[in-house]
Amino acid sequence: MTSYDPALFLGTAWYYARYRLPYPAEVFALLIRTFALDGRGCLLDLGAGTGEVAVPLSTHVEQVVAVEPDAEMIVEGEARARSAGAGNIRWEHAAAEEFSGRPAAFRITTVGTALHWMDKPRVLTRVHELLEPGGGVAVFSGGSLWTGRAAWQSAAVRVIQRYLGEARRAGRGEFPQSTGSYAELLMNHGFVGPQTHFVVQPIEWSIDQILGYLYSTSFASRRLFGARVGSFEDELRHRLLNLDATGTFTEEQILEVVVAWKPS
């Protein structure tokens, strides 16, 4: 996408802050170790959401600039930061493509499962300019319920499709198809030494948690169902309980973290 669609996550922020799974501690340990974070320097977090990356890493840098285009997400992110006592985060209401910062001002840039929404060449060119020499970038990616292979995930997607259509929704359009690896993309934009890490996260869901997660997404936000939301919830519960009467569902989510550096 070349410009941010304000309908993309409209009405999802409350659910996003409460039902999106936190990144595993292993991910942050990896970044702290890889980039030798020691409380100094400034972190730029693009597509910051409700602070899923910015808040946990705030204790390992001097300052965080969290850039997020959705105003409702920022409200939730600020609340998360206050609750955590993270007073060194500055929130910027802007799309990643539009953020203007001082060149070579940042020690590390993170993009947590958000680069697929962005104009990748434009954003990565800008990230390269904003990083100090030798600075690092970390890009996260992972699956979603829509692409999951478990029987309960497939059943949930079929229910969503009955109400919203076959295509995976994304704001006013459809979900953008990914092309190429992030490691290759980073190298093509001047970064060196890319490393790809995989973190496996076992997850156990209740039906209420599944619904909350769905309402945090662009493809099944609550507003998309309109007056049929009650029928959707009833049908989803019925389908899932037919699969497992306990109402508990499991998966192993694999998070990919690609790190690379701007040459010194």
* Location of structure tokens 């659910």: 15
Q: What is the pLDDT of residues 62-92, one digit of tens each?
A: 999 999 999 999 999 999 999 999 999 999 9
Is 196:183 a contact under the CB 8 Å cutoff? yes
User: What's the topology of domain 13-144+170-202+252-261?
Assistant: Rossmann fold (3.40.50)
Over residues 193-218, the mean pLDDT reads 97
> How many Å apart are CA 252 and CA 139, to the nearest integer?
20
pLDDT at 1: 43
Domain ranges of the chain: 13-144+170-202+252-261
How many other C-beta atoms can be found within 10 angstroms of the C-beta atom of residue 48? 29
* 154 pLDDT above the threshold of 90: yes
> In the structure, what pLDDT confidence band is assigned to residue 199 with cuts at 50, 70 and 90?
very high
Q: Which pTM value belongs to this model?
A: 0.93
Average pLDDT over the chain, rounded to whole? 94
Please report which confidence band the pLDDT of residue 130 belongs to, taking 50, 70 and 90 as the band edges.
very high
Residue 241 host element (H or E): helix 229-243
Kindly tell me if the per-residue pLDDT of 128 is higher than 70. Answer: yes
Mind spelling out the 3-state secondary structure of 187-230? HHCCCEEEEEEEEEEEEEEEHHHHHHHHCCCCCCCHHHHHHHHH
Distance, in Å, from the CA atom of 257 to the CA atom of 252, rounded to the nearest integer, reads 16
As beta bridge partners, residue 205 has 249
What pLDDT was estimated at residue 167? 84
Per-residue burial over 228-264, b = 16 or more CB atoms within 10 Å of its CB, e = otherwise? eeeebbebbbeebeeeeeeeebebebebbbbbbbbee
Residues 6 or more apart in contact with residue 88 via CB below 8 angstroms = 58, 61, 62, 63, 64
